Structure 1
Amino acid sequence: IFDRYTCRLSLSLIMIWRGRLLNIYPSLLSTFFHSSLPIRDVLQAGVRIIGVGIHFIDEFNIDNDRSIIAKVTVSVRSIETGIQLEYCIRLREQQLYLKALDIVASKKIGYQ
C-alpha cells in the first residue's frame, strides 16, 4: 500500500505487482486528483466535502475512477485549518485501509 505516493513507478514493477498495488489519496479522485496539495486546494476553493479514496495503481501509473476500491467523504468545517483537516482525513484513512484490504483479500473487487 502506498500513501499518497508522488513518484512514478517503473512499468516492470507495476506489472510484477499488478492488481496488488494500492494507493490512498486524500481527495475524491474526480475532483482534485491532479493536485499535489489537495488539502490546501480544498480549503482555498471553499469546498465543504472532501473524500478519501483507495485505488489500484495501474500500468499507466495514474489515478482514475475505474480503479477505485473504496472511498469515503469527510465534511470540511468552515473554521478548519489544513492541519485539522489533515487529522480528520488521517482518521478516516485508517478506517478505510481496513475496509479496502478486506475487499481486496476477499476478492469482492479485483483489478480489471
Structure 2
Amino acid sequence: MKKLRLGVLASGRGSNLQAIMDRCQAGSLVAEVVVVISDKPAAYALERARRAGIAAYGLEMAAFPSKREYEQAVVELLREAGVQLLCLAGYMRLVGEPLLQAFPNKIMNIHPALLPSFPGLHGQRDALQYGVKISGCTVHFIDEGMDTGPIILQAAVPVLGDDTEETLAARILEQEHRLYPEAIQLYAEGRLEVEGRRVYIK
C-alpha cells in the first residue's frame, strides 16, 4: 500500500502533529508527513517537523495583502509537496475558499469536544462551564463553518467533579493522539465515504 502524503497546518506546539509522525514512523499509519505550515513562524510544531527532516514553513498572514492570497500561497506549497490529505493540528484559523476548493473533502481537523456541542477555540472550558458529565474529541472534515463539517470519529471522556480546564484538556488530548491517526488511516485505506452530513466507514 502506497503511503498517503500528508500536509499539516499548525499554530502551536504540535502535539497532534507529533502523534501523527510517531504513528507514521511506527508503521501503524500508512502515511508520511511531507510538509508542515504554520501561520506563526515561532510555533514549536515547525521545530518538530524540522527535527524529523520534514519541510517546514512559517507564513505570517500579515505578510500578505489578504487572507485569500495567504491561503493561495499555502495551497501552492501543499501542491508542490504533492499533498493528498491536509490535516489541521491546532490550527487556529477558519479555513477559507482557496483551501476548500483545492482540497474538497480532503481537509481533516480534530476538535477537543463532542461536536456539534462546544465548537470554537475553548471547547474544554465551555464544556466544563456548562456542567456536562461527558466530553471528548471529534475528528471531522472541514467545511466553510466553525467546526461544522461532517463527523468522522469521536471519543468520549468522562468529566470528573474536580476537573479543571487543564486536567480535562490533558485527558482529552490523550484520546486525540489516538483518534486522529486512526481517522487518517481509514482515509488512507479508502474507507471513508461522505454523503451530505454523514461519513460512512466502509
Name the TM-score class by shorter chain: 0.7 to 0.9
Identify the residue that residue 63 of structure 1 maps to in structure 2.
Answer: 147
Alignment of 1:73-88 (within 5 A): 73-88=156-171
The Cα shift of 1:70 comes to 0.7
Structure number having the greater strand percentage: 2
Identify the residue that residue 21 of structure 1 maps to in structure 2.
Answer: 107
The Cα shift of 1:5 comes to 3.3
Tell me whether 3-12 or 102-111 shows the greater mean CA deviation.
3-12
Q: Which has the higher contact order (CA 8 A, sep 6+)?
A: 1
Root mean square deviation of aligned Cα: 1.7
Give the partner amino acid of 2:141.
F
Residue-pair matches, total: 109
CA distance in 2, matches of 1:51, 1:67: 17
Normalising by structure 2, we get a TM-score of 0.50
Structure 1, unaligned stretches of length 5 or more?
none
Secondary structure, counterpart of 1:27 in structure 2: coil
CA distance in 1, matches of 2:106, 2:180: 14
Q: 2:122 aligns with which of 3, 17, 37?
A: 37
Structure 2, unaligned stretches of length 5 or more?
1-86, 196-202
Normalising by structure 1, we get a TM-score of 0.86
Bigger Rg over Cα = 2
Instruction: Report if the CA contact (8 A) 1:54-1:69 is conserved.
Output: yes
Secondary structure, counterpart of 1:89 in structure 2: helix
Identify the residue that residue 9 of structure 1 maps to in structure 2.
Answer: 95
Instruction: Report if the CA contact (8 A) 2:138-2:153 is conserved.
Output: yes
Identify the residue that residue 134 of structure 2 maps to in structure 1.
Answer: 49
